[in-house]
Amino acid sequence: MTLSEEERWKAVLDCDPIYDGKFFYGVKTTGIFCRPSCKSKNPKRENVVFFDTSAEARAWGLRPCKRCRPDLAEFQPQKELAEKIKGVYDLYYSDHGRVREELKKLGVSRNRMSQVFYTHYGKIPGEYLNTLRIASAQKLLIHTQGSTLQIALQSGFESLSTFYTQFRRLTGVSPKEYRCSVLRREESR
């Protein structure tokens, strides 16, 4: 299917991702080429040239846009951001200050982070962090003799009541009941 210049121009104005990969557009005044879905400021029509491939745009002397990355076969900045956020949580879940510090380096608002994380993982960050913290607490309850308070703090909970609430919500039992049931199972082997 061959697209007319006007169809291509409309796709650029609409930032329509359906046309990504079907054509590229270059801007003569900036020396850059983009995907049709690029969210950069719309160029003047007289400065735009259309290409069927990114190779044609490069041959014309244009460089790829750093925002929409038309030089990559697949560009999913939201997925990359979600993975970075998850990486911070996975590494620093037990240290609230460090989590805040590392997330701040990503340069995205808390609301946007929550949206992106939820879109990609189906959980809000607080739920995910609680899951990590409870998993850590379960290991500590089994493999250490630490008190419930010590384990709660080591796992990243800032209050004992929150720890008890989240532990029971995710496991169905209290931390003490969990520890006892696991120890009984191991003794009966």
User: Two tokens at 145?
Assistant: 């003799």
Alpha-carbon span 179 to 176, nearest angstrom:
5
Q: Is 34 a catalytic residue?
A: yes
Helices (DSSP H) in the chain: which residue ranges?
A: 5-13, 54-59, 77-92, 96-104, 110-121, 125-143, 148-154, 160-171, 175-187
Alpha-carbon span 57 to 69, nearest angstrom:
13
Please pick, among 15, 34, 38, 68, the residue that the annotation labels catalytic.
34
| Phi, psi dihedral angles at 170 (to 5 degrees) | -90, -25
- Residues taking part in catalysis: 34
